Amino acid sequence: MSSFRNHRVIIASLFLPTTAALGESSPPTPDYQITQDSESTVPQSNSANQKQQPAYRQRQPGQLPLVSIVDDLTSRVITPLASPQPDIPNPFTKFVKIASPQPGTTPSSNSAHASNSSNESSADSNAPSQVPSLDRSFTLFRPRKFQTTHQDVRHSARLQRKQSRSTSRRPTSVARGSNADGGYDPWHISPNTHCNGGLKNAVDSVKGRLLQRLWVGTLGSNTDGFGSAMRKNIDKRMRETCDSVPVWIPDGEFESCYDEFCHQVLWPCLHYAVPDAPKTKCFYESASFKQYRSVNQRFADVIIENYREGDMIWVNDYHLMLLPALLRSHPKTASAPIGFFLHVAFPSSEIFRCLSVRDSLLKGVLGADLVGFQTANYARHFRQTVSRILAYESLPKGIQVEGPVAPVSTGGEAEKEWRESAEGKKGKEKGRFVDVGVFPMGIDVNSLREKKRQPEVQYWVQLLRQRYAGMKLIVGRDKLDETQGVRHKLEAFDHFLKANPEFQGKVVLIQVALQTTESNELAGGVSDVVARINAAFSTLTYQPVVFLHVQEVTFSQYLALLTVADAFMVTSLREGMALRTHEYVECQEERNRALILSEFTGTYSYSGFRSCFAVNPYDTRGTAKAIYQALTMSDEEAASRWQDLHNHVVTQTAQAFTTSFLTRCLRAHNEHASLSTDPSLVPSLDVPRLIPKYRHSASRLIFVDLEGCLWVRDMSKSAMMEMCKSGKGPMVELPEATIRVLESMADDPKNEIWVLSGLPVKGALERLAERVPKVGIVAENGCFVKTREISNKSGGQSNGARWINMVANLDFAWKGPCVEILNYFTERTPGSFVEERATSVVWRFWTGPPDSTAPIDDDATITTNDICSPSSNTATSPSSDSHYSDRSWARRQAAEAQNHIFDSLGERYGLRIIPGQNSFLVLPNNISRSTAVGTILHPGGPACSPLGGGAGVGDADYDGWWSSTTVGSGAGRTSGTTGGRVSSAGESTLVLGIGGDEKLLRRLNELDDAETVSTSRRGTDAKWKLDPREVLGVLGTLAQVR
């Protein structure tokens, strides 16, 4: 299978990582000097009156100098609300002086000092004459800026496009920068403050493997004033220098889509907030969803225009939920690999169903080959929502979509005409499967380690430690949205100070606030709580809450805060992966301090983060208690907790996220493409062409399915009744014709025959082993393997065949609860029954007329009704139409049962569910027919026979036995002499696989001398196709070849 390295990846995100900013580009980050606010300056040796700012900050064009965290602490009482200034100035005014003097010197005075109040002068006179100074080397380098989920750039108060570009960035007289062509452009490329930082970092972390990529998104600023010539110039330079293609959207259209629909309707719903009456009314009376659909269509047009054969398309986040279906419905991108990843939470169906446009959003997402989520809970919510709202079959692995991807619903006659079209009718018979997976995002650990070792970070670490010596620091970094729970955090901190007066004056909460919309900030209700806490507990030398906006803190300062913090606190009411907690854990490599984490974050759902102090943000007392425990725990406990957290951070990285998602997307697409291939394109088995290869091979290894190939079982109700009464009948008695063919094939000394089955050992397979002992058997889809009985010609003896339990070390405590769940559904599904086997459980949910349009899983236990029914290849009969409602009910029940088993037992016991057309199988994970074949082929494997085992290859799913080195050398060409077949020069082993297991057939195709034959009557990667009813005849013909 090809790797994503061989493909160009088109990454669609609402905002590009870079943008086109008006004006001249920024200078190369010089250390600028200011002459005001002398207390925030450093005296230079050549002039006592010239001051230099010690902060490592770039000055942006058209902006006032940005204050650093030090200046912020020195210049104001940190509250979002304007409040009366205290009579005595903020005691943090002396903070910056720590870094200023050299040993043996004191800060110089100037006129600014003289203007201070007498109270401040008195405070200065009581200060120590000698202040420990920092290493002077910290001020000798230029500042740097870093890109991460926290960006060192200046943000506007709102993300709304009208305000995202302030008027200061659009002066009437614009400075122009020259370009490479000798012309002049009134703009320059700069980092986009609105981009998804976590996604950008994840993509950048795999630059070495993701060699070709193309970003598609908006600039994140007003663009109506850009002329056509300027847009073309931006398109060209962004494509050449940034691998980016801008999407040009009218400002009004984007505003309505982003501010109204995305932020006021979709964002609250995805974070478990039921739309209230005012917002709902506003939504219904506006055209915001039309604008949302229009924005998605503009993205689709740009991607289609730039798409080329072989590209992968990666759609990101809730802003573009309609985009996958728009791409899938276009002829140019209909066959492209498309993945969709949701970076935020996904609610339960009871919440999502409140949206009036729920159908369009879900169908839009289902246009992808793979839909990814941050946690298993969000993936489960999505599957359940699709099942309950769209009535699609929802399985643990994904969604079975009936028919092709419809165009995004526009209402009226357009959609009706499509449904009545010939394409729609054809698609209803075809359908497609959409994978649903879990891909937790992480951080680039190596990059963060390099950044935290930068000298400027160490500078701020020393400064903060000296300033807050003897105090405990709690750090938080959140948006001021209501869902981020900042108000709940502050309320808990207030309760902590009241309940533990001994900590008053000794604990400081430094809260960094990320940008959000004005309405969301007001809804967060943070300002009054900050003012109340500071008013209640502040003293001349202590302020409990320090409130900073993100534009006031550089990334170096932020890393320093994480390094010196005694606790990091996240109290989100609902959130996906909180990557800031990963950054905190990595920065605590030396101190190993505590993490206080909300139970409602996606991060907490992973076992690696269970070593944090988990809190329910709605429980103020419980959160306050967690703060106390985090600040008072022993160093041994802190180190143990941190080690567990760190193990997860360094394992689930940004590289692992990107690689796993793109690999799974490509694999899912290839699987879907093979299943959707027209079976008529696969040639029928040419027996005359196969016979010469069969005759001249030194040895032959033959794998053939029992059910559906060698044996057609009668799954009718009458056959089941007969089996239940007498223990015999067509369900347990193999036909004599099958026995004779197997005996004839096994008598040839060159042949090694293996029969693959999903049946239990007792019954039909036990009888087969007695009748034909020279045949190897795989039972219960790989859980048991019976070795072949091989005669020793010289001694006249034979080795005894034996059954090998491949799952002997597994825990089967899950079988009892699983059968109990299935019995519950059996009582409510007419005609269904449970088959309990030694290591697996099968539920037959339908025993009526077959449905030819239903899919068959590769590893499903194939029955008569699955494949070999005479009516399965014809049009639906009137009698089957009469049973359509009953079958639909049975399939819905089967989907509910599978989800219930997977959610309650699957992750706990490591189970896999294999869905079939009329049944599904529950068995241990990583066990399949292909893994059993791996044990047969691998030399020295547990099922390797002394004479026949060891074709020189194995199975990747079974201890990595599918080795590329051995596969390339050809089957049968083993270098060892123990347990392997050694072929003479010029001869090789013929591997023949016949069956419907697509996974096994694809892997057998990797062998040099393999012939694969599919009997599934659908799209396949096998080299040949064959009607299941002709299998016995073909094997009989080969048995006569000598």
pLDDT (tens digit per residue) in 948-984: 443 333 333 333 333 333 333 333 333 333 334 333 3
Q: Can you tell me whether residue 897 is helix, strand or coil?
A: helix
Tell me what pLDDT residue 168 has. Answer: 34
Question: Are the beta carbons of 912 and 772 closer than 8 angstroms?
Answer: no
10-residue block means of pLDDT along the chain (1042 residues)? Answer: 79 95 59 34 38 38 40 42 37 37 38 37 37 36 36 37 36 38 67 91 91 94 90 93 95 92 89 66 68 96 95 96 96 95 94 89 96 94 90 84 61 47 45 90 94 94 93 94 90 96 96 73 75 93 90 90 96 92 96 95 88 96 97 95 94 94 92 72 89 90 90 67 53 82 91 91 87 91 86 54 85 93 92 88 82 42 37 41 69 86 86 85 87 82 49 35 33 35 50 90 85 85 88 91 82
Amino acid letter, residue 976: G
Amino acid letter, residue 409: S
Tell me what pLDDT residue 285 has. Answer: 53
CA distances from 617 to 476, 604, 652 (A): 14, 13, 26
What are the helix (H) ranges across 864-916?
Answer: 878-882, 884-901, 907-909
Tell me what pLDDT residue 914 has. Answer: 83
Question: Are the beta carbons of 95 and 68 closer than 8 angstroms?
Answer: no
Tell me what pLDDT residue 999 has. Answer: 84
Amino acid letter, residue 898: Q
Which residues touch 246 (CB under 8 Å, ≥6 apart)? Answer: 16, 20, 217, 218, 219, 231, 234, 235, 238
Which residues touch 524 (CB under 8 Å, ≥6 apart)? Answer: 480, 481, 482, 484, 486, 487, 516
Task: Give CA–CA dist 1019/998, Å, rounded.
Answer: 10
pLDDT (tens digit per residue) in 535-577: 999 998 899 999 888 878 899 999 999 999 999 999 999 998 9
The full length of the chain comes to 1042
CA 747 to chain centre: 52
Q: Can you tell me whether residue 813 is helix, strand or coil?
A: coil
Tell me what pLDDT residue 537 has. Answer: 95
Task: Give CA–CA dist 441/237, Å, rounded.
Answer: 31
DSSP string, 690-751: HHHHHHH-SEEEEEEETBTTTB----SHHHHHHHHHHS-STTTPPPHHHHHHHHHHHHSTTE
Which residues touch 547 (CB under 8 Å, ≥6 apart)? Answer: 78, 79, 80, 511, 513, 530
CA 316 to chain centre: 11
What are the helix (H) ranges across 510-653?
Answer: 518-524, 527-537, 555-564, 579-587, 620-632, 635-651
Tell me what pLDDT residue 72 has. Answer: 44
Task: Give CA–CA dist 787/572, Å, rounded.
Answer: 57
Task: Give CA–CA dist 42/97, Å, rounded.
Answer: 8
